[in-house]
Amino acid sequence: MNKVVKGAREALERAKVRDGSTILFGGFGLCGIPENLILALRDSGVKDLTCVSNNAGVDDWGLGLLLQTRQVRKMISTYVGENQTFERQFLSGELEVELIPQGTLAERVRAGGAGIGGFYTPTGVGTLVAEGKELRVMHGREYLLEMPIRGDFAFVKAHRGDREGNLVYHRSARNFNPVFATAAQHTIAEVETLVDAGAIDPDHVITPGVFIKTLFQGTYGPKRVEKRTNRPKSGARA
């Protein structure tokens, strides 16, 4: 099977992304997000989406673009404090939200990719996170039962990929991408550089191609930064 397509639009068409889908989005803040796929998804008009992501981007980039067009029905996230569109839609009741501790989100998706039926964690005991969940005492401590998360689709971004779908990530842009790539029926990868099969040392592969059904080489402009901070010049007052 030829996994490579020309671009994000063709990737969505091949995967048959539809209304009501659950989609896992790699990335942390604006770092390592599948920006080409998000733009194509916005332009496709697909709606009523459940989006699983560490965060909701910012108002004018990342998943914030899908919130602007009201294509998202539910967000399953960890941190959403940088997006005013998200805040308005949540407070008005337009957007359903499930907030999950960051480590629990990563582990629930990892469990979904590994075929694990559930796991116990002490994180969230005694908080709103625990409502409606099974509690169990082990070794004198309370634990919550958390269930795995899987998606219909996963959208991930990598630094390099070969035509078989083997992926390599670049430093912090790796973040949630490798885990999310394993936990969907159809994973699409966009890569900054596409190379021939065999060009990536097998010891350097982070996501094996078996998890990737479709990939393409994206186009990218300047890197976006959520909050830019600079160190004071040497000798300057704090």
Domain membership of residue 224 (yes or no) is no
Nearest to 71 by CA among 53, 89, 97, 45: 45
Q: What is the pLDDT of residue 236?
A: 57
* Residues above pLDDT 90, as percent of the chain: 89
What CATH number does residue 12 fall under?
3.40.1080.10
Domain membership of residue 140 (yes or no) is no
Domain with 98, as residue range(s), is 8-116+147-217
pTM of the model: 0.94
Domain membership of residue 133 (yes or no) is no
Sheet bearing 141-146, strands edge to edge: 119-121, 141-146, 135-138
Task: Give the bridge partners for 146, in sequence order.
Answer: 119
Domain membership of residue 136 (yes or no) is no
* pLDDT tens for each residue of 118-146: 999 999 999 999 999 999 999 999 999 99
User: Do the Cβ atoms of 135 and 125 come closer than 8 Å?
Assistant: yes
DSSP codes, 51-106: EE-SB--BTTBTTHHHHHTT-EEEEEESB-TT-HHHHHHHHTTSSEEEE--HHHHH
Domain membership of residue 124 (yes or no) is no
* pLDDT tens for each residue of 154-169: 999 999 999 999 999 9
| Structure-derived torsion over alpha carbons of residues 10, 12, 16, 18, reported in degrees to the nearest 10 | -140
* pLDDT tens for each residue of 11-63: 999 999 999 999 999 999 999 999 999 999 999 999 999 999 999 999 999 99
Domain membership of residue 123 (yes or no) is no
Total domains in the chain come to: 1
